[in-house]
Amino acid sequence: SQQGEEDPQALSIQEGENATMNCSYKTSINNLQWYRQNSGRGLVHLILIRSNEREKHSGRLRVTLDTSKKSSSLLITASRAADTASYFCATKNTNAGKSTFGDGTTLTVKP
């Protein structure tokens, strides 16, 4: 079974609005990563947050991590049509060599 679960499964917003996606996980983690995937393509790494970090920014992206609630959120500010994609969280468990992915949030940004 997948470690992370994203919420919502699908999100549709207007250009210029903010988009927030959430990820919950079950076991202790070393880090949590967010990826974007355009249809039919590979995944692109967006941002990694370590277990001892609470918030991280990269351009229009803001990621938070709450290890007590075992959850993370990805905020995309001032969304653009080009942000339309699926977004996945992946967790790297403390004792595992690989990262485990959730089933993603599909974001549609309408122009």
Give the whole-angstrom CA distance, residue 36 versus residue 40.
12
Instruction: Note the residue count of the chain.
Output: 111
The number of angstroms, rounded, from the C-alpha of 1 to the middle of its chain's C-alpha atoms is 18
Which residue number, 18 or 94, has a Cβ lying nearer to another protein? 94
Q: How far is the CB of 16 from another protein (least distance, A)?
A: 28
The four Cα atoms 60, 97, 54, 101 give a dihedral, to 10 degrees, of 50
Which residue number, 13 or 48, has a Cβ lying nearer to another protein? 48
Contacts with another protein, residue ranges (CB under 8 A):
2, 4, 30-31, 33, 35, 40-45, 47-48, 50, 88, 90, 92, 96-104
Q: How far is the CB of 33 from another protein (least distance, A)?
A: 5
